[in-house]
């Protein structure tokens, strides 16, 4: 029976450390600041933004929210990003995705000052991650690494399989595992022998976006299984990419959905905001 990795508990510890660090920075006259931009009224996006604001308040990070209507023009959004780039109180800028149809998300990301890009989506930050000289790490992959470290799971020398190749999670996840000396295979919709490849994994990360896609026959007994997926099953219940009931019986470690990777994403966003504040004020560790 797999040991469940409690993302809520690990995230709470990360947040407690961040809160302490924020207090130290405030004594130096520095208050980290995060601006969150939301366009339109997507319910999931609204929930995420509310959770981010609440998390900022908990650890003492100053936050601003910019809620724009779905009718916002590209030029107006770009202008807001430029204003936030110049705003001294703001260390991190996050534009909540997805944006409404008709808005160019790529252009918006590229307009954010890379030193304020706390999502680490800007091409310059993506390049830094590739060569291993980064300021920030994308929040979800960084959260996964933190979860593995929390259980002292060795990555070096292990076969790591990432199922999914998105720019936001799949690709950077593979790079972070590689930086930790894992031997990494990236699988996707065109991969042949998917079951065999997954079964070769000591650490299997599912980033597919399909409910219960990873089944027990795809998992090596004793493997560590990280479920990044957040889906709704036909009954409307929240579930991951991993068939939890069957995989729990054969994995050594498993992240639940909800309560696994999810809480870590916001914790790492807070961490990136503090890092940005320290960079902007020339504070070294």
Contact 51, 270 (CB under 8 A): no
- Spatial strand order of the sheet with 92-95 comes to 62-68, 33-39, 92-95
Separation between Cα atoms, residue 177 and residue 203, nearest integer Å: 10
pLDDT surpassing 80 at residue 285:
no
pLDDT of residue 37: 97
pLDDT surpassing 80 at residue 194:
yes
* 53 annotated active-site: no
pLDDT surpassing 90 at residue 255:
yes
Cis status, amide bond into 7, omega within 30 of 0? no
Tell me the percentage of the chain whose pLDDT exceeds 90: 94
* 23 annotated active-site: no
Q: Which of 91, 96, 180, 271 is catalytic?
A: 96
pLDDT band at 44 (very low <50, low <70, confident <90, very high): confident
| Other beta carbons within 10 Å of 55 | 20
pLDDT of residue 232: 87
Which pLDDT tens digit goes with each residue over 196-208? Answer: 999 999 999 999 9
Tell me the percentage of the chain whose pLDDT exceeds 70: 100
What are the distances in angstroms from CA 131 to CA 125, 126, 165, 179, 192? 10, 9, 18, 9, 29
pLDDT surpassing 70 at residue 58:
yes
Which pLDDT tens digit goes with each residue over 75-95? Answer: 999 999 999 999 999 999 999
CA–chain centroid gap for 178, Å, is 17
pLDDT of residue 233: 84
Separation between Cα atoms, residue 118 and residue 269, nearest integer Å: 6
In b/e form, how buried is each residue of 189-216, taking b as 16+ CB within 10 angstroms?
eeeeebeebbbebbbbbbbbeebbbbee
Q: In 3D, which of 250, 252, 203 has the Cα closest to residue 228?
A: 203
Q: Which of 91, 116, 117, 119 is catalytic?
A: 119
Which pLDDT tens digit goes with each residue over 146-164? Answer: 999 999 999 999 999 999 9
pLDDT surpassing 70 at residue 133:
yes
Domain ranges of the chain: 30-113, 139-262
Query: What is the overall mean pLDDT for the chain?
Result: 96
Cis status, amide bond into 98, omega within 30 of 0? yes
Please determine whether the domains at 30-113 and 139-262 fall in the same fold group of CATH: yes
Question: What is the SS3 assignment for 68?
Answer: strand
pLDDT of residue 46: 93
Contact 163, 128 (CB under 8 A): no
Q: In 3D, which of 35, 171, 165, 39 has the Cα closest to residue 98?
A: 39
Mean pLDDT across 184-194: 96
Half-sphere exposure (CA, 13 Å, Cβ side) for 54?
A: 7
Which numeric CATH code is attached to 30-113? 3.40.50.10860
Query: What's the topology of domain 139-262?
Result: Rossmann fold (3.40.50)
pLDDT of residue 77: 98
* 119 annotated active-site: yes
pLDDT of residue 234: 85
């Amino acid at each position: 029976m797999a040991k469940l990795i409690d993302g809520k508990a690990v995230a709470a510890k990360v947040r407690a450390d961040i809160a302490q660090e924020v207090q130290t920075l405030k004594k130096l006259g520095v208050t980290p600041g995060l601006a969150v931009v939301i366009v339109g009224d997507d319910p999931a996006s609204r929930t995420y933004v509310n959770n981010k604001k609440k998390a900022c308040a908990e650890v003492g990070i100053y936050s601003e929210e910019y809620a724009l209507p779905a009718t916002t023009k590209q030029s107006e959004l770009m202008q807001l990003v430029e204003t936030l780039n110049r705003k001294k109180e703001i260390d991190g800028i996050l534009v909540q995705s997805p944006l409404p149809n008709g808005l160019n998300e790529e252009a918006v990301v590229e307009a954010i000052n890379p030193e304020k890009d706390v999502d680490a989506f800007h091409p310059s930050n993506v390049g830094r991650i590739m060569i291993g000289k980064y300021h920030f790490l994308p929040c979800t992959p960084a959260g996964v690494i933190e979860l593995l470290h929390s259980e002292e799971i060795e990555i070096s020398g292990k076969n790591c399989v990432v199922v999914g190749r998105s720019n936001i999670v799949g690709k950077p996840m593979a790079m972070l595992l590689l930086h930790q000396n894992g031997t990494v295979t990236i699988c996707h919709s065109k991969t042949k022998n998917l079951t065999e490849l997954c079964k070769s994994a000591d650490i299997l990360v599912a980033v597919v976006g399909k409910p219960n896609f990873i089944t027990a026959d795809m998992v090596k007994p004793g493997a560590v299984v990280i479920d990044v997926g957040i889906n709704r099953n036909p009954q409307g219940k929240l579930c991951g990419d991993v068939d939890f009931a069957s995989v729990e019986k054969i994995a050594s470690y498993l992240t639940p959905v909800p309560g696994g990777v999810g809480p870590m994403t916001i914790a790492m966003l807070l961490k990136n905001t503090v890092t940005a504040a320290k960079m902007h004020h020339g504070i070294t560790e």
